């Protein structure tokens, strides 16, 4: 009797997943790629597989490539939408150290790069992080992640299909 109650409570628990946003053709929803490790009994090893879910995102918080936190819904919203987006954990682009909150370039803080450049002199080929565009400022110029995506089923030079996935 107690085990049945525990199973019922476990089925109703809210589950959180962290995943990567992928292009989606559904409106008010985003497709999230969640890594899952499957155990192989023969080799006694875990292998990474990916599970794809649709998460409800009415405010369009996430863009393609962002790492997001999703929560399972108590009941399905539609046939495919079973989760909802809680927040964007890490947007694609500038990497920020989650502990210190400082910007990072490769494995070095940008502040340390500035100190080294002041001491030794900055190279003329060095990347200018201060002049870098923020994500979203190049929409319709170089960034087309906000456009509706659709599947590309054929190749035709007369029909370029610029936003196909």
pLDDT, tens only, 96-116: 888 998 989 888 999 999 999
The CA distance from 91 to 78, in Å, is 27
Query: Nearest 5°: CA angle at 76, between 146 and 84?
Result: 40
Assign a CATH topology to domain 13-90: OB fold (Dihydrolipoamide Acetyltransferase, E2P) (2.40.50)
The residue extents of the domains of the chain are 13-90, 93-147
- Asked if 47 and 19 count as a contact pair (C-beta separation under 8 A), the reply is no
DSSP designation for 143? B
Q: Which of residues 147 and 158 earns the better pLDDT score?
A: 158
Q: Which two tokens stand for residue 122?
A: 């900055």
């Amino acid at each position: 009797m107690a085990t049945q109650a525990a199973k019922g409570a476990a089925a109703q628990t809210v589950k959180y997943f962290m995943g990567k946003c992928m292009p989606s053709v559904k409106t008010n929803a985003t497709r999230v790629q969640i890594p899952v490790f499957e155990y192989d009994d023969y080799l006694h090893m875990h292998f990474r597989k990916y599970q794809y879910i649709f998460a409800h995102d009415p405010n369009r918080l996430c863009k393609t490539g962002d790492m997001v936190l999703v929560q399972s819904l108590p009941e399905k919203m539609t046939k495919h939408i079973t989760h909802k987006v809680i927040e964007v954990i890490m947007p694609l682009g500038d990497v920020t150290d989650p502990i210190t909150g400082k910007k990072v370039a490769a494995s070095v803080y940008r502040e340390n790069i500035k100190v080294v450049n002041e001491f030794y002199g900055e190279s003329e080929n060095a990347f200018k992080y201060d002049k870098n565009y923020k994500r979203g400022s190049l929409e319709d110029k170089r960034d087309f992640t906000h456009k509706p995506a659709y599947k590309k089923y054929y190749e035709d030079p007369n029909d370029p299909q610029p936003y196909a996935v």
